[in-house]
């Protein structure tokens, strides 16, 4: 019986000690209200390609005025077109580009955007 009472008294005294220690610490160092952190991210580049599927011309519409490198790959991963654009640009599909699905990779200083383009002649 004595052991059980001793254990209960010990647990109770530890709980009281922890409670008073936390209470004293909060009086000495009151909690400080957190200030919001302002994170400024670059404006995301939104590119729209239309018409898709295209016949002879497609347009890359972008909200960026910075230069972008546009590379067009066929399904085998071969580069079929590579150019640098600035802003919204219409691109004429040459005779060397046949019907099929192509991947357009647009690289800017804020990142890389990949879009799919279908060419139907």
Distance of alpha carbon 66 from alpha carbon 107, whole angstroms:
10
Residue 16 lies inside a defined structural domain of this protein: no
State the CATH number of the domain containing residue 104.
Answer: 2.60.40.3080
In the block, residue with structure tokens 């909200």: 63
Which tokens is 81 given?
A: 């077109």
Residue 10 lies inside a defined structural domain of this protein: no
Residue 85 lies inside a defined structural domain of this protein: yes
* Residue-level pLDDT, tens digit, the chain, 121 residues: 545 555 555 555 665 555 555 555 455 666 666 677 776 666 556 679 999 999 999 999 988 788 899 999 999 999 999 999 998 999 998 888 899 999 999 998 888 889 999 999 8
Distance of alpha carbon 115 from alpha carbon 51, whole angstroms:
13
Full residue range of the structural domain in which residue 86 is found: 47-119
> What's the total number of domains in the chain?
1
Distance of alpha carbon 119 from alpha carbon 58, whole angstroms:
9
Distance of alpha carbon 91 from alpha carbon 106, whole angstroms:
14
Residue 37 lies inside a defined structural domain of this protein: no
């Amino acid at each position: 019986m004595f052991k059980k009472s001793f254990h209960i008294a010990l647990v109770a005294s530890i709980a009281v000690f922890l409670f008073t220690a936390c209470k004293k610490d909060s009086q000495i160092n009151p909690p400080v209200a957190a200030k919001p952190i302002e994170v400024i991210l670059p404006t995301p580049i939104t590119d729209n390609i239309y018409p898709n599927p295209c016949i002879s011309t497609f347009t890359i519409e972008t909200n960026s005025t910075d230069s972008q490198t546009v590379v067009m790959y066929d399904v085998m991963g071969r580069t079929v077109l590579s150019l640098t654009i600035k802003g919204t640009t219409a691109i004429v599909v040459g005779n060397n580009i046949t019907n099929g699905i192509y991947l357009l990779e647009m690289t800017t200083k804020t990142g890389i955007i990949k879009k799919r383009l279908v060419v139907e002649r």
